[in-house]
A and B are shown apart, each in its own frame.
Chain A
Amino acid sequence: MSTTTHPRTDQAPPPARRDAAGAARPRGAGLGGRVFNGFSHLFLLVWAVMVIYPLVWVVMSALKSDSEVIRKPLSLIPDTLRFENFGRAWGEGHLGAFFLNTVLVLAGSVTLTMLLGSMAAYVLARYDFPGNRAIYYMFLTGLTLPIYLAAVPLFKGVYNMGVVFPLLGPNKHLMLIVVYVAWSLSFTIFFMHSFFRTLPHSIAEAALVDGASHSRMFFSVMLPMAKPGLISIGIFNVLGQWNQWYLPTLLMQSVAGEPKHQVISQGLIELSVNQGYKSDWSGLFAGVTMAMLPVLIVYIVFQRQVQSGLTAGVGK
């Protein structure tokens, strides 16, 4: 309501009606509005608790001793804060190694995904050549195919590759980087394709007239203009690859008896499966907390970018 003089009332009635119908209606609407708002708050609060309570419970359980986890599983306040659980999960639980592996892989894979994905998307979106549509649809089809179907041939392919180029074999960081890039291309290209389409042609023409080469135009004109899109798809890829569990479980298997270079999701699954034997509950909670907190903190700091980035990924 642009004309309202009572910004605090909910849905202030239009001025004409307020003058004509007197006080009865505004008061009724106000009361109904207040009941409604109370109800809104109640429900929103309930859902907020349902989201937060389990998370807080996990973090707090990570600070308890094992016996306390069993004796008082529900309490949110540990008797004493036992930070050594984290040390145990980090060292004996190998979470430190998982983190290092994940960061190493993601540093390479996200960078390469963004670079190769936007290069391909740009060419497919702005240049006309025979086979353009075919290549574009080939990438699109990848969005719908179930990854499980490709599992065994993919493993065989990687294994054979490793015989020729050891760095691209199973259980190698570089291999996982390359595989992540290949499997992330579909959505990245799909997203950036529609983005490059919307960029104005006039600037591109001006750059060409000024004698810029095609690749120079891409790197110094088009990429900077596509920055909002790049941020969105970048966030999407970071989260998606950080969360990937099937590909590492399949491909980061130890072949010649060397220890597995597990990434975080893969490691957590194994940690939780092994609980049946070791029952280090507080260690497990500490592991989950450590996998969860960095992402949550990054999200809280950059929440606006993350929200708009991820929703833009769907909205396109």
Chain B
Amino acid sequence: MRHGVARFVTGFLALPVALYLFYVVWPFAQAAGYSLTDWGGYSDRQNFVGLDNYVRLLSDELIRKAFWHNVFFLVTVPLFTIALALFLAFLLNVGGREDRAGIRGVFGSGFYKIIFFFPQVLSLVVIAVMWQQIYRSDNQGLINGLLIKVGLVDADNPIAFTADPEPFLGIPAVLWWLLLIAVWSGAGFYMVLFSAAMQSIPKDIYEAAILDGASRLHTFFRITLPLLRDTISVAWVYLGFIALDMYALVFVMTPSQGGPDHASEIFASVLNFTAFQKGQFGYACAMGVALAIFTILLAAAQLRITRRERIEF
């Protein structure tokens, strides 16, 4: 019997583990090794340079810039997406009537939920190519075209969107425009998530609160929000991962993939540029390892901060 179990376990695990080791673990391990060399990526010549690449990272101006841009997304993407999603979910559910079947949601909430979820099923590439057209810096673009028509924007001086490095609130404008896309595409999904969580809150809690004279806003801030805490913190972690991976948008939408004038560089774009354009593969690997360590620390921190005893109902 014991023997049978061992054979069964090995049989089931062998193929997945082998695939994973060869295509995921081994490349990562190699990259970590390369980060200690000055390998260019194309020749076979490589010298061991110890931690030199990592020392260089600390004083690299471009990396510092990219790091702060990453931090910007890390803060703003979850913040704005969750705020908007919560607001929409609140309007959808608490704004509606309640009856025997519990909270019903406003009239047409099913319709809204279907629509809001659209961006989630579109690929990031489709979204990026689509927004590229929306953001065009002439009257052919959707936004510029509309604004020029109503006279809010001068036709000779249209909004440059992702080609605009001028700072707004101290942050290059291009990053705000990318943020808008990220929020646009994410809000609907988290709205549905929060909406489901809101509907699972038993309605006798609300009944008791309303009996005590609580207003709609009160019930939202004192009951709904605290009870959604778990869901919100999970959403925060996931959005954090998305924020670290804005590369598809930067890749498709910004001039010279990180421009203009490095105003939209993020870790991933600097890494790819260093590896494939500058041919400094060892150094690029050091960036990747630093990013990986940063991500793991962040994930661990988020899980630790947001962990709390669950309220079962």
Identify the A interface with B (CB < 8 A): 1-2, 4, 7-14, 16-17, 33, 36-37, 39-41, 43-44, 47-48, 50-52, 54-55, 57-58, 61, 69-70, 73-74, 116-117, 119-120, 122-124, 127, 129, 135, 138-139, 141-142, 144-146, 148-154, 156-157, 178-179, 181-183, 185-186, 189, 213-215, 218, 239, 242-243, 245-246, 264-265, 268-269, 271-272, 281, 284-285, 288, 291-292, 295-296, 298-300, 303, 306-308, 310-311, 314-315
Segment at the interface with A among B12-20, B155-163, B304-312: B12-20
Residues of A contacting B: mostly:
helix
Say yes or no for B72: interface residue by CB 8 A criterion.
no
For B235, list chain A residues within 8 Å (CB): 314
**When each residue 107-118 of chain B gets 1 if its CB lies under 8 Å from chain A and 0 otherwise, what string results?**
110001111111
Q: How far is the CA of A197 from the CA of B200 in the complex (A)?
A: 23
The listed residue (B28, B123, B130, B268) touching A245 by CB distance below 8 A is: B123
Q: How far is the CA of A113 from the CA of B90 in the complex (A)?
A: 37
Task: List 20 additional A-B contacts (Cβ < 8 Å) besides A43-B88, A55-B130, A149-B288.
Answer: A8-B97, A10-B95, A11-B97, A11-B98, A73-B142, A116-B19, A119-B13, A120-B16, A123-B8, A148-B268, A153-B31, A214-B8, A271-B129, A291-B126, A296-B118, A307-B117, A308-B196, A310-B120, A315-B193, A315-B231
Q: How far is the CA of A55 from the CA of B185 in the complex (A)?
A: 12
For A144, list chain B residues within 8 Å (CB): 241, 292, 295-296, 299
Of the A-B pairs whose beta carbons lie under 8 Å apart in the complex, a sample of 9, sorted by A's number, is A14-B211, A54-B134, A116-B19, A142-B25, A146-B288, A149-B289, A189-B16, A271-B129, A296-B122
Contact A119 B16 (CB under 8 A): yes
Contact B95 A148 (CB under 8 A): no
Given A51-B119, A54-B134, A69-B140: A181 in contact with B247 (beta carbons within 8 A)? no
Contact B149 A145 (CB under 8 A): no
Contact A1 B296 (CB under 8 A): no
Q: What's the nearest-Cβ distance from chain B to residue A115, in Å?
A: 9
Interface centre among A239, A272, A311 (most CB of B within 10 A): A311
Contact A51 B20 (CB under 8 A): no
Given A153-B26, A269-B125, A291-B123: A148 in contact with B288 (beta carbons within 8 A)? yes
For B122, list chain A residues within 8 Å (CB): 292, 295-296
Q: How far is the CA of A306 from the CA of B149 in the complex (A)?
A: 39
Contact B245 A182 (CB under 8 A): no
Give the interface size class of chain B: 35 or more
Q: What's the nearest-Cβ distance from chain B to residue A258, in Å?
A: 22
Closest to A122 in B: B12
Contact B129 A153 (CB under 8 A): no
Contact A272 B252 (CB under 8 A): yes
**When each residue 259-286 of chain B gets 1 if its CB lies under 8 Å from chain A and 0 otherwise, what string results?**
0000000011001100100000100110
Q: How far is the CA of A284 from the CA of B238 in the complex (A)?
A: 32
Q: How far is the CA of A124 from the CA of B284 in the complex (A)?
A: 35
For B91, list chain A residues within 8 Å (CB): 39-40, 43-44
Given A149-B289, A150-B24, A272-B129: A295 in contact with B13 (beta carbons within 8 A)? no
For B15, list chain A residues within 8 Å (CB): 116
Say yes or no for B23: interface residue by CB 8 A criterion.
yes
The listed residue (B30, B114, B146, B292) touching A145 by CB distance below 8 A is: B292
Q: How far is the CA of A49 from the CA of B113 in the complex (A)?
A: 13
Contact B118 A149 (CB under 8 A): no
Q: What's the nearest-Cβ distance from chain B to residue A288, in Å?
A: 5
Say yes or no for B291: interface residue by CB 8 A criterion.
yes
Q: What's the nearest-Cβ distance from chain B to residue A263, in Å?
A: 10
For B130, list chain A residues within 8 Å (CB): 54-55, 58, 288, 292
Contact B145 A37 (CB under 8 A): no
Contact A311 B210 (CB under 8 A): no
For B6, list chain A residues within 8 Å (CB): 129
The listed residue (B121, B207, B272, B291) touching A239 by CB distance below 8 A is: B121
Q: What's the nearest-Cβ distance from chain A to residue B67, in Å?
A: 14
Q: What's the nearest-Cβ distance from chain A to residue B39, in Å?
A: 9
**When each residue 23-52 of chain B gets 1 if its CB lies under 8 Å from chain A and 0 otherwise, what string results?**
111111011001000000100000000000
User: 6 closest A-B pairs (Cβ-Cβ)?
Assistant: A149-B288, A243-B123, A182-B23, A150-B27, A153-B30, A153-B27
Contact B268 A48 (CB under 8 A): no
For A69, list chain B residues within 8 Å (CB): 140
Q: What's the nearest-Cβ distance from chain A to residue B260, in Å?
A: 16
